[in-house]
Homo-oligomer: A and B are copies of this chain.
């Protein structure tokens, strides 16, 4: 068979994995995907991904690139991979990609979501998928503060040390902080279903950040910084001052990994 380049769209629940990137003696999403590919196709290969998510981080739309000589069709691969993968990893699309496609280097934009469960008592259903934050948070204040980070900037204040990225200039296209309301339908906007479709939980705050690329722990550090504004400890102008300082020691804590989702990658 001739060589083909493919793009896979992959979702995973990160809680059982030591992150995306393959490591010896640890379960990783990349390692599991490559082993499953080999079981299905007999082909040993290395895949690339748009973002090397950390341990505990989830993905709704991780993009994965690979070069294959398999005779299986894209639809066969979709069904075969889902049949063989553990049920905390799923492939939602298998598509042809251009020759030489590389999921990491070809990405032109990414979107992340960070979820906070803002309630006094923890939720048994959210504990692995949101940061439980018991003090009241003002989402509108955080949204306002976040607008000071939108645009092209040096984000070194929001980068965890030890990264190998050559520069820290990135562009955030959009940053929103909202308490989403769930409405059931136009038929009955007051339906009990409205009280959070998911599990009756109305205490969620969703951060959405879209940009051309992200530094190591950048989204989690932005969330940890905005939370200081949301809780009233810092003024709305503070995150922009942290940005201008270009000093990681000025920013807030790094929010925990299990609230973070890689939502979408653009090429």
Contacts and interface: CB of A to CB of B under 8 A. Distances in A.
Nearest to A91: B121
Contacts of A178: 184-185, 187-188, 191, 193
A78 B124 CA distance: 15
Given A178-B185, A184-B178, A185-B178, A261 B193 contact: no
Interface in A50-97: 58, 60-61, 78, 82, 87-92
A180 B181 contact: no
B183 A197 contact: no
A192 interface: yes
A267 interface: no
A184 B204 CA distance: 11
A159 interface: no
**How many A residues are at the interface, by size bracket?**
35 or more
A113 B179 CA distance: 23
Q: How many copies does the complex hold?
A: 2
Contacts of A200: 60-61, 113, 261, 263
A150 interface: no
A120 B22 CA distance: 29
Nearest to A127: B87
A244 interface: no
A261 B197 CA distance: 12
Contact of A182 (B89, B180, B192, B199): B180
A102 interface: no
A212 interface: no
A187 B144 CA distance: 12
A176 B193 contact: yes
A13 interface: yes
A194 interface: yes
Interface of A: 11-13, 58, 60-61, 78, 82, 87-92, 111, 113, 121-125, 127, 129, 176, 178-185, 187-188, 191-194, 196-200, 204, 206, 208, 210, 261, 263-264
16 contacts: A13-B124, A13-B125, A60-B199, A90-B122, A92-B121, A129-B199, A176-B191, A178-B184, A178-B187, A180-B184, A180-B185, A181-B182, A181-B183, A181-B185, A193-B206, A197-B206
Given A88-B127, A176-B188, 13 more contacts: A11-B123, A12-B124, A82-B122, A87-B124, A88-B124, A125-B129, A176-B193, A178-B188, A178-B191, A180-B193, A180-B197, A183-B183, A200-B263
